Amino acid sequence: MAQSTRPHTREDGSPERLAIDTIRTLAMDAVEKANSGHPGTPMALAPVAHTLWTRFLRYDPQVPHWPNRDRFVLSCGHASMLLYALLHLADVRAIDAQGRPTGKPAVSLDDIEHFRQLGSKTPGHPEYRVTTGVETTTGPLGQGCGNAVGMAIALRWLASYFNRDGFPVFDSNVYVFCSDGDLMEGVASEAASLAGHLRLGNLCWVYDSNHITIEGKTDLAFDEDVRKRFEAYGWRTHVVEDAEDVEAFAEAVEAFQATDDRPTLIMVRSVIGIGFPTRAGTRKAHSDAPGEEEIRGAKRSYGWPEDARFRVPEEAKRSFSQAISGRGEPLHAAWEEMIGRYREAYPDLAAALDALCKREQPQGWDADLPVFAADPKGIASRDAGGKVLNALARDVPWLVGGAGDLSPSTKTEIADSPSLEAATPGGRNMHFGIREHAMGAIANGMALTYLRPYTGTFLVFSDYMRPPIRLSAIMEIPVIFIFTHDSIGVGEDGPTHQPIEQLAGLRAVPGLNTIRPGDANEVAVAWKVALAQTGHPTALIFSRQAIPTLDRDRYAPASGLEKGGYILADCAGKPGLILIGTGSELPLVAAAHERLSGEGVKVRTVSLPSWFLFEKQDQAYRDTILPRDVPSRLAVEQGSALGWDRYVGPNGATVTMSTFGASAPIADLQEKFGFTVDSVCRAARDLMEKNNGSHARSETQSAHAPA
């Protein structure tokens, strides 16, 4: 890459110049030592990042989790060394998992020297919870952009709820660094469109327009006018022609801070890998470790000692950290003083703020959960879910969410609450539009900013949301993903809308609690479980069609769902057959239980709505529910068989889907694919015949396997 004359930054030898070049050389040295990573973007954006952090960012390095801090999101997560260098130079102090200060640096020089190594605080892409100061896990491009929109929405909601005259409890901004790759991803476009609609004046994206991606120059696949696109979204745009022109960038940030009626995009033209000598080959500084020869040439162009490794001049670190703390610490101190007065003037709001920041729920939040009477006709679990959501929303004010243009179908609207719109930022009903991918990413950003968000769409469209669902699990944040229309029960809409493999896909995500409740009372318990926890996301899987509400005087209490699986109905002595059901198939296996019991079969029926919770129980409990010495186990579910072998065992069977569905009324589909009492009973008899040689009753003995 051609060397830059750097005409607009401070003169060589100044503290600012030293700090900028320190960021660059740390990126080069870390990537070279790891023989892995991307130094080009950190080098190119060092002047821009330095200017934002030292002159504008509202941030206290000593208390990096201060609620009213500005958020900085590095959506181009491959440039992680930029963020690690900033955190090191700012002398950000680490906090532990409980939010307590440790006194240790968030990113030490030793951490930087162990960039991308096992157990380091400097992984290849920034990871929330791993590194203090990282606001969100960014890896897949575009996700950070979506997260930032959620953060900006949440901060405006919090301001609407908590702020009072003379008490600006929340008035901070969200800054994002994003790349050409981010803006190619559809999720960023979806999120930007919604941000413009909501007129998020507290959101600023800094777009590094360097025209380079991994394959080469962007004109291979990307030549649109990004500025016009964002203006069409309703954003204010600025162009900085040279990333080295820090004063032009500062003017653009000042213009953003003076804007409150729309989000801002600052396009910065940069030269990736600035300072690397031009080479005749095809090296792409974005994607390769630069090599010792290029590093020495770059350092020479900076006036840097060529042989120095991981050099951090004291003057550079002191000037950088003092600039940030000199502004951020007084702002934080003034905020704390204001909160002291706020506690006296608004004690209830102050108590709510404390609970919110600790992820605690208001006292008695689950006291009004509905109890549903037995009803053979029943209610769709989506309808039951809507009733439970509204009961909880009355007591949990920061439960906020909506659907991807499907709230009438997903039953995810909070009654008697306004929509969250530009003019009503404190509304609780969000309209994400038909933007499922952005909906998930935005919900993650909201959860990272204290709210308890939920989303809603059809289960088949969870495929559009897999990246943010996966990231919510990686980050261990309590987003609630509601999925309705969960099976071939969708009926006439046909196979494009009938989920088959989606349940197995969600269950495969580590750390995601996928719950498919089997009647209305299980729905209530599922919602309680989802809202009670704070360390992982939950997927609630609901039916479109009505399913019977089981008589809990006859069957076990729905509270058994809290353990993931429980015995719904049993027999005297050791069972000869175990039926397992979830969702709309739970009443079906209950009906099969009654018929088979009437025929003299010793049958146990198990409800297994959450594999995630069931696997958290000890082995003794799981063996009590599914005894090892009962080989005849039949699982019934209108989805893929994948994964059920764990519970039915080598001698068990399933009544599941092995093909896509069809367009037809639901009764015809259930008959065709075998989801009737007759079909389930026939499958159960065949299974017992195979395993036992007859339909005879099992001998009465302990249901526990031998030790």
pLDDT recorded at residue 71: 98
Phi, psi of 357 (to 5 degrees): -70, -25
pLDDT recorded at residue 278: 54
pLDDT recorded at residue 216: 64
Contact 94, 106 (CB under 8 A): yes
Work out the pLDDT band at 693, boundaries 50, 70, 90.
Answer: low
**Quick one: CA torsion of 464, 465, 471, 475, rounded to 10 degrees?**
180
Mean pLDDT of the 362-373 span: 95
- Check whether 106 has a pLDDT greater than 70: yes
3-state SS record for 128-144:
CCCCCCCCCCCCCCCHH
Give CA–CA dist 569/550, Å, rounded: 11
pTM for this structure?
0.94
- Catalytic residue set: 436
Neighbours of 552 (CB within 10 A): 17
Residues 6+ apart with CB under 8 A from 330: none
Domains and CATH numbers, the chain: 15-332 (3.40.50.970), 375-549 (3.40.50.970), 560-692 (3.40.50.920)
Contact 298, 238 (CB under 8 A): no
Give CA–CA dist 228/230, Å, rounded: 5
Mean pLDDT of the 247-275 span: 93
Q: Which tokens is 655 given? A: 């009544």
Q: How crowded is the C-beta side of 355, counted as CA atoms within 13 Å? A: 16
Q: Which tokens is 312 given? A: 């951090």
CA 58 to chain centroid, in Å, comes to: 25
Q: Which tokens is 707 given? A: 């030790």
Q: Which tokens is 349 given? A: 């709001």
Tell me which residue of 567, 601, 573 sits closest to 586, measured CA to CA: 567
- 99 by Cβ neighbours in 10 Å (0-12 / 13-18 / 19+) ranks as exposed
Classify residue 573 by its DSSP letter: S
Contact 582, 539 (CB under 8 A): no
Phi, psi of 136 (to 5 degrees): -160, 155
Contact 541, 584 (CB under 8 A): no
Write out pLDDT tens, residues 326-336: 999 999 999 99
CA 468 to chain centroid, in Å, comes to: 5
pLDDT recorded at residue 82: 98
Write out pLDDT tens, residues 411-430: 999 999 999 999 999 999 99
pLDDT recorded at residue 212: 61
Of 11-25, 123-137, 325-339, 635-649, the poorest mean pLDDT is in 11-25
- Check whether 270 has a pLDDT greater than 50: yes
Residues 6+ apart with CB under 8 A from 283: 290, 291, 294
